[in-house]
Structure 1
Amino acid sequence: MAASANKYKLIKKLGEGTYAVVYKATDAQNNTYAVKRIKLGEFKDGIDISAIRELKFLQEIRHVNVIALYDVYSDQETLNLVLEFLVSDLEHIIQDKSLIFQTADIKAWMLMSLRGLHHCHRSYIMHRDLKPSNLLIAADGNIKIADFGLARVAAYPQEYLTPTVVTRWYRAPELLLGSRHYTESVDIWAMGAIFAELMLRTPYIPGASDFDQVELTFRVLGTPTEEIWPGVSSLPLYDDLMTKITQRHPVPPPSEISLRFMAASTAALNLLNSMLEYDPSKRPTTESALLSPYFVEELPRPTKPQNLPKPPSFSS
Structure 2
Amino acid sequence: MVTSQLGEDINTRIVQKYKRFHKLGEGTYAVVYLGSVVETGRKVAIKKIKIGSMKSGLDMSAIREVKALRELKHHNVIELLDVYSFKTNLNLVLEYLDTDLEQVIKDKSLDMKPNNLLIDSKGVLKLADFGLARDYGDINCPMTSQTVTRWYRSPELLFGSKYYTGAVDMWAAGCIFAELMLRTPYMAGNSDMNQLDTIFKALGTPTEEEWPGMTKLPDYIKFEKTYPKNDFRALFTGSSQDALSLLESMLVYDPRKRITAKQALAHAYFQNSPLPSLPEKLPKPSKTFSQTDNSANNEAGDADELLDNFGEKKRKIDQVSDNPEDQIGIVGEPLAKRLDFSQNK
Considering fraction of residues, name the structure with more helix. 1
Q: Name the structure 2 match of 1:52.
A: 63
2:28 and 2:227 map into 1 onto residues whose CA distance is: 39
> What letter matches 1:303 in structure 2?
S
2:229 to 251, 261, 286: 251
**1:231-282: CA deviation from partner (whole Å, max 9, x where unpaired):** 111112223xx2xx32212223xxx211211222222111111100000011
* Residue 158 of structure 1: how far off its partner (Å): 2.8
1:236 and 1:314 map into 2 onto residues whose CA distance is: 50
Could you state the TM-score of these two structures normalised by the residue count of structure 2?
A: 0.77
Q: Name the structure 1 match of 2:252.
A: 277
1:67 to 72, 78, 88: 78
1:3 and 1:246 map into 2 onto residues whose CA distance is: 61
Return 204-213 or 138-147, whichever deviates more. 204-213
* Residue 313 of structure 1: how far off its partner (Å): 4.4
> What letter matches 1:183 in structure 2?
T
Q: Does 1:4 align with 2:11?
A: no
1:275 and 1:78 map into 2 onto residues whose CA distance is: 39
User: Mind listing any 5+ residue stretches in structure 1 that lack a counterpart?
Assistant: 107-130
1:313 and 1:146 map into 2 onto residues whose CA distance is: 22
Structure (1 or 2) with the larger CA radius of gyration: 2
Is the CA contact (8 Å cut-off) linking 1:39 and 1:78 kept in structure 2? yes
Q: Give runs of aligned pairs for residues 166-181 of structure 1, distance below 5 A.
A: 166-181=148-163
> What letter matches 2:62 in structure 1?
A
1:150 to 128, 132, 140: 132
RMSD over aligned CA atoms reads 1.6
**1:72-98: CA deviation from partner (whole Å, max 9, x where unpaired):** 22233222211010121111111122x
Q: Does 1:308 align with 2:290?
A: no
Is the CA contact (8 Å cut-off) linking 2:133 and 2:147 kept in structure 1? no
1:205 and 1:311 map into 2 onto residues whose CA distance is: 27
1:290 to 265, 272, 278: 265
**1:138-174: CA deviation from partner (whole Å, max 9, x where unpaired):** 1111111000001121252332222122111111011
1:14 and 1:100 map into 2 onto residues whose CA distance is: 23
2:199 and 2:218 map into 1 onto residues whose CA distance is: 18
Is the CA contact (8 Å cut-off) linking 1:154 and 1:184 kept in structure 2? no
Q: Give runs of aligned pairs for residues 119-134 of structure 1, distance below 5 A.
A: 131-134=113-116
* Residue 186 of structure 1: how far off its partner (Å): 0.7
1:24 to 34, 38, 44: 34
Is the CA contact (8 Å cut-off) linking 1:163 and 1:179 kept in structure 2? yes
1:177 and 1:42 map into 2 onto residues whose CA distance is: 32
Instruction: Identify which of structures 1 and 2 has the higher relative contact order when contacts are C-alpha pairs closer than 8 Å and 6+ apart.
Output: 2
Q: Secondary structure at the match of 1:188?
A: helix
Identity %: 51
1:19 and 1:216 map into 2 onto residues whose CA distance is: 28
1:198 to 157, 164, 180: 180
2:68 and 2:54 map into 1 onto residues whose CA distance is: 21
* Residue 290 of structure 1: how far off its partner (Å): 0.8
State the aligned residue count.
279
1:209 and 1:53 map into 2 onto residues whose CA distance is: 25
Q: Secondary structure at the match of 1:238?
A: coil
Q: Secondary structure at the match of 1:282?
A: coil
Is the CA contact (8 Å cut-off) linking 2:98 and 2:285 kept in structure 1? no
* Residue 312 of structure 1: how far off its partner (Å): 4.4
Go from structure 1 to structure 2 and tell me whether the alpha carbon gap of 1:40 and 1:211 turns closer, same or farther (over 3 Å shift): closer
Q: Secondary structure at the match of 1:204?
A: coil
Q: Secondary structure at the match of 1:280?
A: coil
Is the CA contact (8 Å cut-off) linking 1:66 and 1:144 kept in structure 2? yes
Q: Name the structure 2 match of 1:216.
A: 198
Is the CA contact (8 Å cut-off) linking 1:189 and 1:276 kept in structure 2? yes
Q: Name the structure 1 match of 2:51.
A: 40
Is the CA contact (8 Å cut-off) linking 2:104 and 2:110 kept in structure 1? no
Is the CA contact (8 Å cut-off) linking 2:32 and 2:46 kept in structure 1? yes
Q: Does 1:266 align with 2:241?
A: yes
User: Mind listing any 5+ residue stretches in structure 2 that lack a counterpart?
Assistant: 1-10, 293-345
1:183 and 1:266 map into 2 onto residues whose CA distance is: 28
Could you state the TM-score of these two structures normalised by the residue count of structure 1?
A: 0.84
Q: Secondary structure at the match of 2:256?
A: helix
